[in-house]
Amino acid sequence: MEEKIKARVMDSRKIKRAIQRMTTEIIERNRNLTNLVIIGIRTRGIYLGKRISKLIKELENTDIPVGVLDITLYRDDFSELEAQHMVKKTEIDFSVGKKDVLLIDDVLFTGRTIRAAMDSLIDLGRPNSIQLLVLIDRGHRELPIRADYVGKVLPTSKREIVHVQFKEIDKSDEVLITEPAEIK
Amino acid sequence: MPFNHKHLLGTQFLSPSDITTVLDTAESMLEISTREVKKVPALRGKTIINLFFEPSTRTRSSFEMAAKRLSADIINFSKETSSTVKKESLKDTVLNLEAMNTDALIIRHSSSGALHFISTFCKSHIINAGDGAHEHPTQALLDAFTIRQEKKSIEGLRILIVGDILHSRVARSNIFLLKKLGAEVTLAGPPPLVPEEFKKFGVDIDFNLDRAIKGADVVMMLRIQLERQQKNFFPSIREYRNLYSLTTKRFRLAKKNAIIMHPGPINRGVEISADLADSAKSLILKQVENGIAVRMAVLYLLLGGKEREITD
């Protein structure tokens, strides 16, 4: 499907500042940082999680482990999906039981991914608490879910698509809004 | 790559990319069996029937566990306790079970091609758990998965399959699959059990095990199927053991880091010596463990997601 770029809403400087601000908020709110663990939702939640973990290490000299969560097997829209989703690995080599889990994703939209991620986490153990961090909150929630830390609130129409790109896997750090091109 | 099949009837119908999709998916499934809660909701609400017209320990319980770990509901059917003893035909049995709104049938049958026949009238997904001397695709997939785990890649490996090739569905499924992934396959065993026609599948045949085993990366032993052996294919078990049993001495002729595989059940002291079967070189129990992840992958790929445009 062809997509037309409508706007570049964040560049690498803006992304960096948002991450710095959110990291400070995390440190402020979690007095016992040693009990914090980060779980990044595949794919871009992982890179966001790693950057935050690195920043906490720089600021507070505390190591925060980062795990990777694949939510494919917990999706609630199996029967509606057109294409099959490849199941990828969940890689969490520490226990989440009794931990304060910081769940991280790039974009918060309907909330269904987060619902699936929470179900999955609770099957892995009983966390002390779960907090949610997203770089972009684009609205249109279908479930009663909200984020504790938000990089940027971005009002969008449902038709639009928000792309978060990280230089670890994409060309550069940026956030784009695109729209499917008109079918002629 | 999407997996566009309605049924899994045999490895001969899979493309190399289909095989890689199954193995990669199984890689992700492996971790689920190590969790405290060994269950994910992916196939919640799906009904699967294990339909076994032949005995089985590993395959049936492995499929059952795989289905349960994906939250599907599974029912076990065995020939002895069913209306098959009242002479109900295969077709009627399947149609009646399917009338209970099943999503998939996992079937083992003693006739080669029985599964193909069932797939012509059945609306559910059909998974072959062994049909006569034809195919046993999930066994070959889990063998490939285990080899890949140990050797990283299958391409270019020298794989030796030893024993009763004639009656073995495991051998056929493995030959199709391993050739597709670029392995060099050699078959060894007594001439009446290793038919020349297999050469058309692109494999080498050597009736002398001591010669064939030289330089092998993987030695796959097959069970001597006494129940299928009405004719005398070899003079005696003792002779078979002398010529074709995998002993420590013989195994030294293979590559230094070679591995031993066996689909089970093993006849200890016949096709493989007991000490070798229990040694670190033997991956027999690893195969069983991996079997669950591979079958979870197969069930997920066939049953997960919307009814798709199916090409086969």
Separation CA A21–CA A106 (nearest Å): 16
Separation CA B109–CA B133 (nearest Å): 10
What are the domain boundaries of chain A?
13-74+85-156
Please, which residues have CB within 8 angstroms of residue B287's CB and are 6 or more apart in sequence? B142, B143, B146, B261, B262, B263, B264
pTM for this prediction:
0.90
What are the domain boundaries of chain B?
11-136+289-303, 138-284
Nearest CA to B177 out of B8, B62, B5 is that of B8
Find chain A residues with C-beta within 8 A of B21's C-beta. Answer: 86
The pLDDT tens digits of the residues spanning B39-87 come to 999 999 999 999 999 988 889 999 999 999 999 999 998 877 777 777 8
Chain A residue nearest residue B29, CA to CA: A89
Q: Do B11-136+289-303 and B138-284 have matching folds?
A: yes
Chain B residue nearest residue A94, CA to CA: B35
Interchain proximity A78–B24, CB inside 8 Å: no
Contact with chain B for residue A98, Cβ under 8 A: no
What pLDDT score was predicted for residue A78? 63
What pLDDT score was predicted for residue B227? 67
- Among A78, A82, A90, most B C-beta atoms within 10 A, so best to mutate, is A78
Beta bridge partners of A36: A100
pLDDT averaged over every residue in chain B: 92
Q: How confident is the model at residue B233 (pLDDT cuts 50, 70, 90)?
A: confident
Q: Which fold has domain A13-74+85-156?
A: Rossmann fold (3.40.50)
Interchain proximity B306–A85, CB inside 8 Å: no
Residues (pLDDT < 70) of chain A are 1, 78-84, 183-184
Distances (CA, A) of A38 to A102, A109, B131, B261, B293: 5, 20, 48, 40, 27
Out of A78, A80, A123, closest to residue B304 by CB: A78
Q: What is the C-alpha radius of gyration for chain B, rounded to an integer number of angstroms?
A: 19
Query: Strands A3-10 and A174-180: what pairing?
Result: antiparallel
Separation CA A135–CA A107 (nearest Å): 6
Element (H, E) at B41: none
Given CATH 3.40.50.1370, say whether it is the number of domain B138-284. Answer: yes
Interchain proximity A124–B70, CB inside 8 Å: no
Please, which residues have CB within 8 angstroms of residue A52's CB and are 6 or more apart in sequence? A19, A22, A23, A26, A38, A64, A102, A104, A133
Chain B residue nearest residue A84, CA to CA: B305
% of chain B at pLDDT higher than 70: 96
> How far away is chain A from the Cα of B102, in angstroms, using its nearest Cα?
16
Contact with chain B for residue A93, Cβ under 8 A: no
- Among A69, A72, A73, most B C-beta atoms within 10 A, so best to mutate, is A73
> How far away is chain A from the Cα of B108, in angstroms, using its nearest Cα?
27
Contact with chain A for residue B24, Cβ under 8 A: yes
Is the pLDDT confidence value at B293 over 70? yes
The pLDDT tens digits of the residues spanning A82-136 come to 556 788 999 999 999 999 999 999 999 999 999 999 999 999 999 999 999 999 9
Q: In the CATH scheme, what is the code of domain B11-136+289-303?
A: 3.40.50.1370
